[in-house]
Amino acid sequence: MKKLLTVIISLLLLLVIIIATLFGLLNTSYATPVVQWVNQLFGDPRLSFSKAEYNYPLHVRLTQPTIALDNSSLSFQHLDIWFNDAVYDDDQWQIDSMLFDGISVYNTLPHFVEPTNFKIHQLAVHNLSIHHDNIDASHVNFQVKEPHWYHREQWLPYGKMQLSAGEIQWQGEHFDTLLVDMNHQLTDSTINGFSFHWRNGLVTGQAEHYPSGWSLVNVTMNHLALTQNIIDQLRYKWETLPPRVITHINSLDILNSQLEFGTVTLNNADISIENWTLNSLWQTQGMLSLHADNAKWQDMTWIEPDLDVTLVPGKITINDFIADVWQGQLQLKGSVTPKKLHLSQFNVAGIRWYGEHEKDFPTLSLDDLPWSTIQVDQLAINNAQLIQLKQKPFWQLSGFSINGQDLTLRRDKQFGLWQGNINLGANSASIGKLHTSQAIIEMSNDNQVWSLTRAFLPLKHGYFKAQGTWPMTNQDTPWSLHIQADGLPLDPLNQWLSLPIWLSGFADTDASFSGMAGNPTIIKHTLSGSAKTNIYHGVMTMQHDNTTTIQPFGIDDLHITADRGRIAIPQTPIQGTTLDAELSAKFDLVDYQSGHLDMTVTNQDKSTRYDLLHANHEKPPEKSESVN
């Protein structure tokens, strides 16, 4: 027993002497071979280095270390290792911290297998440069607490990580001053905070990972500048990313940014998105609010637009939209589906529109609207002024107002008043030389029958009144129209009809017509009714044999009858001081070219017939036909 104890003590003394000798050699020029010998004996044979330095008590620096991987190797400038007080425990070297400094990775990202004979509590990499496919990153630093590699294809370890990069380029996109604090895990990873500069803006926020993908949490993008061209480029670039990288937005704020989406440009815009699932538009769920200093769309400038919408699959609810446009204000609320626009409220107040140049006219046609059905519960347009001076006939509406309730304005892609009540009024209105003031028009549709309940247009020397009905759906259904006019000017006829004479003056008329609705042929075949007209203070400008003649005229009791599309005017004298003329007509609307509408003027036993039905002149006639 005494002999065994002596052997044990001797072995312990020898071990102490060996360890002391090794530690002693670590502070000499023999440090490098000693560390290499220890690494080959107890460490990782994949690691090699050119020089080793020891710093008391537990710090070792390796110069130009290289780690051999399956098909490649990684070389660094330095590797610093800080051992734990329990240097070797549980068959593993206990390392408090390991720092790799100065590394460049080209073409292929390395794949690691977690070492079995090292327990690393903190891993750090400084001055990393990556040049791989479309990614270039410089001045990359990261550190990971309790790093783990779970499979061979993994190059970034799992663990609590802080990462920074001076610059990252990806397919031409630059991300500067990147900072990330995250808990990188096999499942349920979280990014506690990130920030970077991109497209002249600053992006900050947090993110959480779920089985379906990443969710953005409290993300803010400030001072971005994105045009439609850039967005198209990004969409093309994003197609190369793994599918469904980001699938949900918990909260995203885009602030003070210049944005362009299609034909819409937003200046100094603020956009807030909440609880948004990233799917196709009509499968998306979430909330969005928007404000901008101004927006441009269809050559129109919208001042301080505010938008608040809620999305559920198949439907977009417009909680509120308000903007200043054309010196007035527009406000609306409602909902949108792929086939239907339903506005609960549509208000316009005080707009001023002057159409003088091509740029003043929106290029979007109403027929281009995608919705087959358009409904408006409450419509109010107040104190509007609209002036069109681009082409004749010029027209204007001043003090214009529209009020409507429960309106269906488009059905099966056809515009019209399909349902509801609507009232129109104007303090002043004109088209060409036809002027009216304090005009009122009231119409409605009930059970698919459109009714012109009241149309009253005061004129300078009289008035115009009309009432009528028109079926909107069923063919072979009767319609009717009744017109009364006093002091109706004739001048507009020269703009609207191609007549071989030029007319001015006034007319009184009382007309009632009816027929069956349907296609144009049915309407022409069934038009019936009559009109009684008197014309006074008339002036007729005629041209014959290169001679222009101006004749005052009047007509008493001009009778126009329609019987199933056959129009007739009996020979009716046209009265004038020096005028001997008469008007007559007989033609069928179905084949009006075979009929006639003539005015015959007799002067000194010579008659001139003016064919009013077949003439194709917009000015006083340049030729005429004489009959005996």
Q: For 66-95, what is each residue's pLDDT tens digit?
A: 777 666 677 888 888 888 887 777 777 788
Q: What pLDDT shows up at residue 481?
A: 95
Cα–Cα distance measured from residue 519 to residue 471, given in angstroms and rounded to the nearest whole number: 12
Q: For 21-29, what is the mean pLDDT?
A: 49
Please indicate, yes or no, if residue 98 is contained in any of the structural domains. Answer: yes
6 — pLDDT class (breaks 50, 70, 90): very low
Pair 50, 176 in one domain:
yes
Instruction: Give the pairing of strands 213-222 and 201-210.
Output: antiparallel
Give which of 512, 504, 471 is closest to 488, Cα–Cα: 504
Please indicate, yes or no, if residue 331 is contained in any of the structural domains. Answer: no
Q: What pLDDT shows up at residue 240?
A: 65
| Tens digit of each residue's pLDDT (9 = 90 or more) over 244-270 | 688 889 999 999 999 988 888 999 999
Pair 194, 47 in one domain:
yes
Percentage of the residues of the chain whose pLDDT score is greater than 70: 84
- Helices marked H in 205-300: 228-238
Residue that finishes a domain, picked among 168, 198, 228: 198
Q: What pLDDT shows up at residue 321?
A: 96
Per DSSP (E only), the strands in 31-121 are: 47-48, 51-55, 59-63, 66-68, 73-75, 78-89, 92-106, 118-120
Give which of 555, 524, 552 is closest to 538, Cα–Cα: 552
Cα–Cα distance measured from residue 32 to residue 64, given in angstroms and rounded to the nearest whole number: 12
292 — pLDDT class (breaks 50, 70, 90): very high
Q: Which residues have a Cβ under 8 Å from the Cβ of 77 and sit 6 or more positions away?
A: 63, 64, 101, 102, 103, 127
Question: What is the DSSP secondary-structure string of 179-211?
Answer: EEEEEE-SSS-EEEEEEEEETTEEEEEEEEEET
Q: What pLDDT shows up at residue 228?
A: 81
Please indicate, yes or no, if residue 251 is contained in any of the structural domains. Answer: no
Both structure tokens of 208: 């959480």
Pair 168, 58 in one domain:
yes
Please indicate, yes or no, if residue 130 is contained in any of the structural domains. Answer: yes
Predicted structure pTM score: 0.78
Compare 531 and 279 and report the one with higher pLDDT.
Answer: 531
Which pairs from 280-287 meet CB under 8 Å and 24+ separation? 282/313, 282/314, 282/337, 282/338, 283/313, 283/314, 284/311, 284/313, 285/311, 285/312, 285/313, 286/249, 286/310, 286/311, 287/311
Cβ atoms of residues 253 and 271 within 8 Å: yes
Please indicate, yes or no, if residue 296 is contained in any of the structural domains. Answer: no
8 — pLDDT class (breaks 50, 70, 90): very low
Both structure tokens of 18: 């060996």
Instruction: Give the pairing of strands 92-106 and 118-120.
Output: parallel
Is 538 a residue whose pLDDT tops 70?
yes
Pair 77, 114 in one domain:
yes
Q: For 8-29, what is the mean pLDDT?
A: 44
What is the sign, positive or negative, of the torsion defined by CA atoms of 518, 524, 529, 530? positive
243 — pLDDT class (breaks 50, 70, 90): low
**Which amino acid type is present at position 595?**
G
Neighbouring CB atoms inside 10 A of 509's CB total: 17
Cα–Cα distance measured from residue 89 to residue 93, given in angstroms and rounded to the nearest whole number: 6
| Tens digit of each residue's pLDDT (9 = 90 or more) over 323-354 | 999 999 999 999 999 999 999 999 999 999 88
Cβ atoms of residues 591 and 605 within 8 Å: no
Both structure tokens of 615: 């003439």
Give which of 625, 586, 584, 621 is closest to 607, Cα–Cα: 625
Give which of 345, 267, 331 is closest to 301, Cα–Cα: 267
Pair 10, 106 in one domain:
no
Residue that finishes a domain, picked among 167, 183, 198: 198
Least reliable range by pLDDT among 356-370, 446-460, 506-520: 356-370
Q: What pLDDT shows up at residue 11?
A: 38
Q: What pLDDT shows up at residue 611?
A: 81
For the chain, what is the domain count? 2
Give which of 17, 36, 27 is closest to 56, Cα–Cα: 27
Cβ atoms of residues 371 and 387 within 8 Å: no
Pair 30, 106 in one domain:
no
Helix, strand, coil shares of the chain, percent, nearest 5, are 10, 65, 25
114 — pLDDT class (breaks 50, 70, 90): low
Pair 53, 188 in one domain:
yes
Beta bridge partners of 464: 457, 485
Please indicate, yes or no, if residue 239 is contained in any of the structural domains. Answer: no
Cα–Cα distance measured from residue 179 to residue 189, given in angstroms and rounded to the nearest whole number: 17
Residue 33 sits at φ, ψ, to 5 deg, of -65, -30
Compare 594 and 544 and report the one with higher pLDDT.
Answer: 594
Cα–Cα distance measured from residue 239 to residue 298, given in angstroms and rounded to the nearest whole number: 30
Q: Within its chain, how far is the Cα of 141 from the centroid?
A: 40
Residue that finishes a domain, picked among 164, 198, 232: 198
Pair 73, 144 in one domain:
yes
Residues in the chain: 628
Is 618 a residue whose pLDDT tops 50?
no
| Tens digit of each residue's pLDDT (9 = 90 or more) over 182-236 | 998 888 889 999 999 988 889 999 999 888 888 999 999 999 888 888 877 777 7
| Tens digit of each residue's pLDDT (9 = 90 or more) over 372-384 | 999 999 999 999 9
Please indicate, yes or no, if residue 3 is contained in any of the structural domains. Answer: yes
Pair 156, 57 in one domain:
yes
Q: For 383-405, what is the mean pLDDT?
A: 91
Pair 175, 30 in one domain:
no
Question: What is the DSSP secondary-structure string of 400-427?
Answer: EEEEEEEEEEEETTEEEEEEEEEEEEEE
Please indicate, yes or no, if residue 154 is contained in any of the structural domains. Answer: yes
Least reliable range by pLDDT among 75-89, 238-252, 275-289, 479-493: 238-252
Biggest CA pair distance of the chain: 166
Pair 4, 131 in one domain:
no
Structural domain including 159 reads 43-198
Pair 139, 179 in one domain:
yes
Cα–Cα distance measured from residue 82 to residue 57, given in angstroms and rounded to the nearest whole number: 9
Question: What is the DSSP secondary-structure string of 493-552?
Answer: HHHHS--SSEEEEEEEEEEEEEEE-SSHHHHHHH-EEEEEEEEEEEEEEEEETTEEEEEE
Residue 22 sits at φ, ψ, to 5 deg, of -60, -45
Is 614 a residue whose pLDDT tops 80?
no
- How many alpha carbons fall within 13 Å on the CB side of residue 237? 13
Compare 508 and 103 and report the one with higher pLDDT.
Answer: 508
